[in-house]
């Protein structure tokens, strides 16, 4: 199982802006770790830096990203990238609208497991079943627009599982979904983490999601980590004023104006 350590990560738009400054955290094997902060705090850039897929013009200028002790910023990313998979906020946008979802999962299976077409299709149906899609063979024949948002996210998770990841980077995976569907997808992520023994970095602005899901949490404010600890400790006894501000904002949202 994989241990991830991010050490003193600095990400910049050179000469123009510092996006992440001195960010350090780790994820132990099998752990679900949250990364929270307001919009623009640098959550997505952190996960993109870990994946080695920062946008053009955005550069990691300092720090190390260690996967089982090896600094992946200094070796070919390809040698470790296969251990990571990502899921995003808008699952339907991430799927090819013109391709049946079963074929999309099968393509990932062929790519990552080297299976030939027929075996990859059978494996794709098994993966759809693993993400608790009822009647997976029927679902496999559907196009993304024929499925709900929650179903599309299950398909995305099946595609992630096809990579047999040891670390799943989940960037706001439930933000676009209804509250009840959100809870189902979070339960699924927690269950799969145990089943396939992977670790998860869960990027979210939602402290409720963190409370439900994460073992530990890191709080990011304007590109700097301001607080880190066990989820229960951070949420029940925040030490940094920004964490208190996030908690107060979340409570206000719950109660309403
Ligand atoms: N392609 C880019 N080039 C330059 N700066 C960028 C780029 N994308 C994002 N940024 C900047 O990087 C900072 C961090 O953005 P990031 O997307 O990581 O925030 P976030 O916490 O994930 O926010 P959100 O929840 O809104 O996605 C922001 O100031 C943003 O404007």
Q: Which CATH number characterizes residue 60's domain?
A: 3.40.50.300
Q: Which atom of ligand 1 is nearest to 203's Cα?
A: 22
114 belongs to a structural domain: no
CA distances to 3, 100, 247, 251, 252 from 218, in Å: 16, 38, 14, 19, 22
The verdict on residue 159 lying in a domain is no
81 found inside a domain: yes
Name the residue range of residue 56's domain.
4-93+165-255
Q: What distance in Å separates the CA atoms of residue 37 and residue 206, rounded to the nearest whole number?
A: 8
- ipTM summary value: 0.95
Other CB atoms within 10 A of residue 249 CB: 13
Residue closest by Cα to atom 30 of ligand 1: 40
Give mean pLDDT in consecutive 10-residue pieces for the chain, a chain of 257 residues: 90 95 95 94 94 92 90 69 83 92 96 90 96 96 95 95 91 89 92 91 92 95 96 94 89 66
Is the residue at 118 inside a domain? no
In a domain, 172, yes or no: yes
For residue 147, is it within any domain? no
Which ligand 1 atom is at minimum distance from the Cα of 41?
21
Ligand 1 centroid to Cα of residue 137, in Å, is: 39
Q: Tell me if 110 is assigned to some domain.
A: no
Q: So what's the pLDDT on residue 128?
A: 97
pTM (2 decimals)?
0.91
Distance 71 CA to ligand 1 centre (A): 24
pLDDT score at 83: 82
Ligand 1 shell residues, CB under 6 Å: 13, 19, 37, 39-45, 55, 57-58, 205
The gap between the terminal CA atoms of the chain, to the nearest Å, is 46
Residue 100 lies in a domain: no
Residue 60 Cα to ligand 1 midpoint, Å, equals 14
Number of domains in the chain: 1
- Closest listed residue to residue 27, CA positions, set 246, 214, 257: 214
**CB neighbours of residue 75 within 10 Å:** 11
Atom of ligand 1 nearest to the CA of 172: 25
């Amino acid at each position: 199982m994989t241990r991830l350590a991010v050490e003193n990560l600095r990400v910049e738009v050179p000469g123009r802006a510092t996006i992440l400054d001195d960010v350090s955290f780790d994820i132990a094997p099998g752990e679900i770790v949250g990364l929270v902060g307001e919009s623009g705090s640098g959550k997505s850039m952190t996960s993109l830096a870990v994946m080695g897929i920062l946008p053009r013009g955005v550069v990691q200028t300092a720090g190390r990203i260690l996967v089982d002790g090896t600094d992946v910023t200094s070796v070919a990313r390809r040698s470790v990238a296969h251990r990571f998979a990502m899921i995003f906020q808008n699952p339907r946008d991430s799927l090819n609208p013109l391709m049946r979802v079963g074929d999309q999962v099968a393509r990932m299976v062929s790519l990552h497991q080297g299976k030939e077409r027929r075996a990859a299709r059978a494996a794709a149906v098994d993966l759809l079943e693993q993400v608790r899609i009822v009647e997976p063979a029927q679902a496999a024949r559907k196009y993304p627009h024929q499925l709900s948002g929650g179903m599309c996210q299950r398909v995305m998770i099946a595609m992630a599982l096809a990579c047999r990841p040891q670390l799943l980077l989940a960037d706001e995976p439930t933000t676009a979904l209804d509250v009840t569907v959100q809870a189902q997808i979070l339960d699924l992520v927690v269950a799969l983490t145990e089943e396939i023994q992977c670790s998860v970095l869960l990027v979210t602005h939602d402290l409720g999601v963190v409370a439900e899901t994460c073992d530990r949490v890191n709080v990011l404010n304007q590109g700097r980590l301001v607080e880190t600890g066990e989820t229960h400790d951070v949420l029940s006894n925040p030490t940094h004023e920004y964490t208190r501000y996030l908690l107060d904002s979340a409570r206000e949202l719950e109660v309403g104006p």
